[in-house]
Amino acid sequence: DPVAFRELAEQVTVELVRYLVAEAGGDPVELSKVVQEGSFKIGVSTETIKRYVFTHTASEAELKMVGKRVTVNPNYKSEEEGNDE
């Protein structure tokens, strides 16, 4: 199922960014590193990883772009958190 694969691959990409940021001591990581690692680990093209990162760096999404680096969005609230209010 292509839709299920895409959804899972997007979540793996988000988790990869979280891992790389944690590994970097909380500092943003180069987009190129995310693209390289994600493409290898997930088995999709580099352009696909770029699309996943682009999608998940929307203003209310899990990730945030800082120049050409990616980090975790400190203002992100998951759907579960949003429903608690």
8 Å CB contact between 51 and 34: no
Q: H-type helices in the chain, by residue range? A: 2-23, 31-38, 46-55, 79-83
User: Above 50 in pLDDT, residue 85?
Assistant: no
pLDDT tens-digit map of 24-77: 999 999 999 999 999 999 999 999 999 999 999 999 999 999 999 999 999 998
User: Above 90 in pLDDT, residue 81?
Assistant: no
Q: Report the C-alpha gap between 24 and 50 in whole angstroms.
A: 20
For residue 69, what are the β-bridge partners?
Answer: 30, 66
pTM: 0.88
Q: How confident is the model at residue 79 (pLDDT cuts 50, 70, 90)?
A: confident
